[in-house]
Amino acid sequence: MIRAHPLLAERPEALELAFRRMGLPTPAREYLLEKLPQYRLLLTGLTKVEGRFLKGLFEASVAPGREEFPVYVSGDPRTRLGSGLLTGRREQFERLISSAKADPQLAGLAEALARGLGSVAAPAPLTLGGRTFTFGARTHVMGVVNVTPDSFSEGGRYASPDAAIAHGLRLAEAGADVLDVGGESTRPRALPISAEEELARVLPVIEGLRERTQVPLSVDTTKAAVAREALKAGAVLINDISGFHFDPELPRVVAEARAACCLMHIQGTPETMQQAPHYEDIMDEVLAFLEEGVARAVAAGVARESILVDPGIGFGKTMGHNLFLLRRLGDLRVLGLPVLVGTSRKGFLGMLTGGKPANERLAATLGSVAAVAALGGADFVRVHDVEEARDALAVTDAIRAASDGGALYGTSKVGG
């Protein structure tokens, strides 16, 4: 599959500010903004067809005075699927996309370029139940409601329906944007349970929460049978740790209910995933896995704008893998979909903090939540401690959006 990875997206306003600080007059600033490249996309997965097209296009556009398309530098021609680097301005990329669309053989290239160019913007809004979530301004919070006797983080504390409902209501009061109800443990080495047992755990909780709160409800399940009944009971989002790779019926169930879904990456199963995680290129493999899940969802009839993706922190990853994924979350933006991340109380945080148990990892969790928000890589974070996470995100999101830099920035305030 062809993929366009954004390596650099110089915002025009950032360049404009740089030129102002250099003291350049308005005509010079406008000229440079028009001429300087603003985007760099790394293309991977190119076949000979796309390679010949790009090479011919750019060889024809190097004549003096012709700057129709981005600059193209090809990769190693000996590789089975080629790669290359494109550098140019938005309008040049838009012309390239139009040229590629004209040839049916280049549809994959046109789509990849459009997604790569669009990945520098916030994803499209997401509707869950009666609420619409917009992205880019703040990081949203999904609160965890575990209804399992063997939860790694809570040890069955909320295994009874009444306890789970009360806990979910507390999380809603604390500011959770979504409540995620789970009836099957997915901790490392966890064994699967039957759909009947999982339904017996989650349905009373979904029904109880739906009666008492308007917060959208998600159900953490990999089973079509569980999803079908959970959606009937009032859930609006299916959170599948398998990314639609375990149960082939699950995409159709989500589509028929016109529900949303979150597709997560996992290597192996919960029972086996932490035995020996290994990757050649973790970002490429995670992206390929998620793209496959998204394709299954869309083929079944799920609206693309109703899909979220999750890199699966702790699901078939070493501590190093987890940290690398968190640092490179922005790479998932190439999918053009909202990104959900769950680091809350996970084992790698315990390893980083001297072996602390799950119930002593709040500070470490907040550090990870603040970091992914600061990097702008997450649209949702899935946490156990909603109130504390909301406070941390309020500060981090405000810092990331800060713009009052004075008169040079056009934001000077009097008396502020």
Condensed to tens digits (0 to 9), the pLDDT of residues 193-234 reads: 999 999 999 999 999 999 999 999 999 999 999 999 999 999
Q: Is 35 a catalytic residue?
A: no
Instruction: Note the pLDDT of residue 155.
Output: 54
Q: Which two tokens stand for residue 113?
A: 């370029």
CATH code of 126-401, in short, is 3.20.20.20
Residues 6+ apart with CB under 8 A from 110: 97, 100, 101
Q: Is 212 a catalytic residue?
A: no
Q: What is the mean pLDDT of residues 236-241?
A: 98
Instruction: Note the pLDDT of residue 44.
Output: 87
Q: Which two tokens stand for residue 116?
A: 């790569």
- Name the pLDDT band for 415 (thresholds 50, 70, 90): very low
CB burial class (10 A; 0-12, 13-18, 19+) of residue 391? middle
Q: Evaluate if residue 337 carries a pLDDT over 60.
A: yes
Write down the catalytic residue from 223, 346, 361, 390: 346
Degrees to nearest 5, angle at CA 342 with 336 and 348: 125
The predicted-structure confidence for 74-123, as pLDDT tens digits, reads as follows 865 555 568 888 988 888 899 999 999 999 999 999 999 998 888 878 89
- Name the pLDDT band for 153 (thresholds 50, 70, 90): low
C-alpha to C-alpha distance for 398 and 6, rounded to whole angstroms: 25
Residues of the chain with CATH 3.20.20.20: 126-401
Q: Evaluate if residue 67 carries a pLDDT over 80.
A: no
Q: What is the mean pLDDT of residues 369-388?
A: 96
As a dihedral over the C-alpha atoms of residue 352, residue 356, residue 360, residue 366, rounded to 10 degrees, the angle is 0
Three-state DSSP at 44 gives strand
C-alpha to C-alpha distance for 342 and 241, rounded to whole angstroms: 11
C-alpha to C-alpha distance for 369 and 389, rounded to whole angstroms: 7
C-alpha to C-alpha distance for 155 and 149, rounded to whole angstroms: 6
Residues 6+ apart with CB under 8 A from 323: 348
Token pair 């790669």 in the structure block, residue = 83
Cβ-contact 242, 222 below 8 angstroms: yes
- Name the pLDDT band for 267 (thresholds 50, 70, 90): very high
- Dmax over CA atoms of the chain, in Å, equals 74
Alpha carbon 387 to its chain centroid, in Å, reads 22
Mean of the per-residue pLDDT values for the chain?
90
- Name the pLDDT band for 69 (thresholds 50, 70, 90): confident
Write down the catalytic residue from 40, 333, 361, 382: 382
Alpha carbon 353 to its chain centroid, in Å, reads 26
The predicted-structure confidence for 308-334, as pLDDT tens digits, reads as follows 999 999 999 999 999 999 999 988 998
Concatenating the DSSP letter of every residue in 147-190 gives --TT-TTTTTTT-SHHHHHHHHHHHHHHT-SEEEEE-S--STTP
C-alpha to C-alpha distance for 253 and 230, rounded to whole angstroms: 11
The predicted-structure confidence for 272-283, as pLDDT tens digits, reads as follows 999 999 999 999
Picking from 9, 72, 86, 70, the residue whose alpha carbon sits closest to that of residue 35 is 70
Q: Evaluate if residue 73 carries a pLDDT over 80.
A: yes
Picking from 360, 367, 374, 288, the residue whose alpha carbon sits closest to that of residue 329 is 374
Concatenating the DSSP letter of every residue in 286-341 gives HHHHHHHHHHHHHHHT--GGGEEEE--TTSS--HHHHHHHHHTGGGGGGG-S-BEE
Cβ-contact 19, 32 below 8 angstroms: yes
337 compared with 72, residue with greater pLDDT: 337
Query: Percent helix, strand, coil in the chain (nearest 5)?
Result: 45, 15, 40
C-alpha to C-alpha distance for 161 and 323, rounded to whole angstroms: 35
164 compared with 89, residue with greater pLDDT: 164
